Amino acid sequence: MKLADGIVFQVDEVEKEFTLAISTRFEIDEIQAFVLLRSFLYNEGLSNNGGSTAKGVVDELIAAITPFYYSERLFVLRVLIPLFRAHENTGDSIHDVATKCLPEITRDGRQFVDDLITEYVYKTEMDIPEVLRVDPRVASRWAKQNMKEQLVMLEVLFWTVWGYVPCDGPLVIRIFETAYNTNLGSSQKNATLLLDDEGNQLQQDSAALWIVVTVEVLELEKVAEDGGVELSATPSDTTFYLSSPDSLRRIHEIVTSNLSSQHACTHLAWAFVLSRLTSKAGQIKEIPQSYRAFLDSLHPHYNRSKEREPSHVLMARAAFSPEVGLFNLLLTLLTTSPLFVTSIAWKTGSTVTDPNAIAFRSVLKGQNGLLSRNAY
């Protein structure tokens, strides 16, 4: 057997039997199965009584290697997180490594995000492999593992858009469409296998990450800066979503299509963006034609009744209404979610890679701070 780095191994009959069994069970390439086997034996080893039960040594190996395999799948994704973080921090000890390696790993950052989201959606719609359906416990374990991988993919997505990939219009639309179409990750093909405490926790963590991601890509701090909002037919920064009126229109359609409590943070964040756009429009002498239709739609009273209020005021009022429960959502996120509370993450055995990360907290706290300083 020749590996990707050119090293050749002579595989004996026992290794061959194990490798083929692993390949069949996990539906992975035989060479990958062989590497997995050797990695497992090096890191974990086999129990002293291997093969002593009626199930046989191969079945015992599969049972023993499954947790290791599932863990490795998560760490393949997790290895990217410190690289993205270090890339944005020149003082990080691995900043130079990240600067060198990320372009080699991702090639095209924008395409990497597209591929990541595509794979995420695919996982939400995956069927349980046929070989695992005969045992309900095994099937449930697979469904939870699938959900865990989705969760870590959302973490990778967050750190990618944190600074590595510009948030242009099509990217923000793709993220919002996925967040809303999957109901913040709760729309799962195998939802019936996620009804216990662990499954519920995974779905709650997924929703929390989606909330943070959808708020982050709106780049509220940049929008709030002097000169952060530019309404121009020839914008200086075409990689910023505000430079595309068509993208603004589509984002607005997505956000206003659903005001359930779990979308309250994103709803309010978008209302803030609209307020800044409206303010900017009132300061310039002539609004570019490409923006006029969208901005007019935000001020119904211009064409109808002077009693009507701008869209951002109505949206903010709706988000703050008791029925929506914005403050309850924020309280729950900041006090009971593993994403923001390390002790809760330990207690629940959360899959979140880095609980209570400063970046996670800064997104929500930054949002609250901007809104409090720019009251409607």
Q: Mean pLDDT across the stretch 109-116? A: 96
Handedness of CA 353, 359, 365, 370 (dihedral sign): negative
Side chain identity at residue 176, one-letter code = F
Token duo for residue 123: 């996982």
Whole-number average pLDDT of the chain: 90
With a CB cutoff of 8 Å and minimum separation 6, the contacts of 353 are: 78, 81, 152, 155
Output the pLDDT for position 292: 93
Of 11, 352, 368, 39, the C-alpha closest to 204 is 352
pLDDT in tens, 293-341: 999 988 765 445 454 788 899 999 999 999 999 999 999 999 999 999 9
Encode pLDDT of 49-93 as tens digits. 554 444 588 888 999 999 999 999 999 999 999 999 999 999 999
Q: How far is it, in rounded angstroms, from Cα 333 to Cα 4?
A: 44
- Name, in order, each residue with C-beta under 8 angstroms of 101's C-beta and a sequence gap of 6 or more: 83
Neighbours of 336 (CB within 10 A): 14
Q: What letters, b where the CB count within 10 A reaches 16 and e where it falls short, cover 164-196?
A: bbebbbebbbebbebbbebbbbbebebeebbee
Are the CB atoms for 66 and 140 separated by under 8 Å?
A: no
> If DSSP codes are grouped into helix, strand and coil, which group holds residue 260?
coil
The pTM is what? 0.92
In this structure, what DSSP letter does residue 231 have? Answer: -
pLDDT at 55: 55
The pLDDT tens digits for 175-211 are 999 999 999 999 999 999 999 999 999 999 999 999 9
